[in-house]
């Protein structure tokens, strides 16, 4: 391979790789901001418990981003819980004042979704919970919880960016 061909190949590789990083960076910026539960008004015939609890609890999530990943500050009835998500597939330990012990979070980007495997106290065996978080639109974020990869979600929470007038549904299956 000639020097000219090598230099051309390296420049092409750099040029082709740069937009993907920039697009992922732009996509991750979409998660930043403050989000609130977007739940329909109570259904007198049997509103879902998780929707009612989230609405009554004044739940909000503020997401910021730094070099090591995402930081979620969840406010529930005046108390704040901070949860860090690394984006490199490595384990991150989080404490939750509402639960004894600690959570081990292992997050990866899978297409246009953040997929987090969660263990309590130690990352041994299969994860207890898998959280999938994605943007349904620029102002709607969805979080789904399942017990194993490929299983249907047992909990789905829809949040809207604070200050927008969008309406969608949140439900517990």
Cα separations in angstroms, 13 against 5, 9, 25, 109, 137: 12, 6, 19, 22, 31
The answer to whether residue 84 is domain-embedded is: yes
Residue 126 lies inside a defined structural domain of this protein: yes
CATH number where 59 lies = 2.40.128.20
Task: State the residue range of the domain holding 110.
Answer: 31-161
Domains in the chain, number? 1
Encoded tokens for 36: 């609130």
Q: Is residue 15 part of a domain?
A: no
- Integer CA distances (angstroms), 136 to 1, 16, 55, in order: 47, 27, 20
Distances (CA, A) of 146 to 3, 16, 112, 133, 161: 52, 36, 18, 12, 24
**pTM score, two decimals?**
0.73
In tens digits, what is the pLDDT along the chain, a chain of 173 residues?
A: 554 443 334 343 344 444 455 677 888 999 999 999 876 655 555 445 455 454 555 789 999 998 889 999 999 888 899 999 999 899 999 997 777 889 999 999 999 999 999 998 888 899 999 999 999 999 999 999 999 888 888 999 999 998 765 544 444 33
In a domain, 112, yes or no: yes
């Amino acid at each position: 391979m000639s020097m000219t061909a090598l230099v051309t190949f390296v420049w092409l590789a750099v040029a082709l790789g740069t937009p993907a990083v920039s697009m992922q960076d732009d996509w991750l910026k979409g998660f930043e901001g403050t989000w609130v539960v977007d739940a329909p008004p109570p259904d007198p015939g049997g509103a879902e418990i998780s929707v009612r609890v989230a609405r009554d609890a004044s739940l909000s999530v503020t997401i910021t981003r730094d070099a090591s990943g995402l930081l979620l500050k969840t406010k529930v009835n005046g108390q704040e819980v901070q949860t860090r998500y690394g984006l490199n597939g490595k384990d991150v330990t989080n404490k939750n004042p509402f639960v004894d012990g600690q959570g081990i979070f292992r997050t990866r980007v899978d297409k246009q979704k953040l997929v987090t495997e969660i263990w309590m106290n130690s990352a041994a065996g299969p994860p207890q919970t898998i959280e999938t978080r994605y943007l349904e639109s620029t102002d709607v974020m969805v979080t789904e919880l399942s017990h194993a990869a490929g299983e249907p979600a047992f909990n789905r929470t829809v949040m809207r960016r604070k200050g927008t007038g969008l309406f969608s549904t949140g439900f517990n299956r």
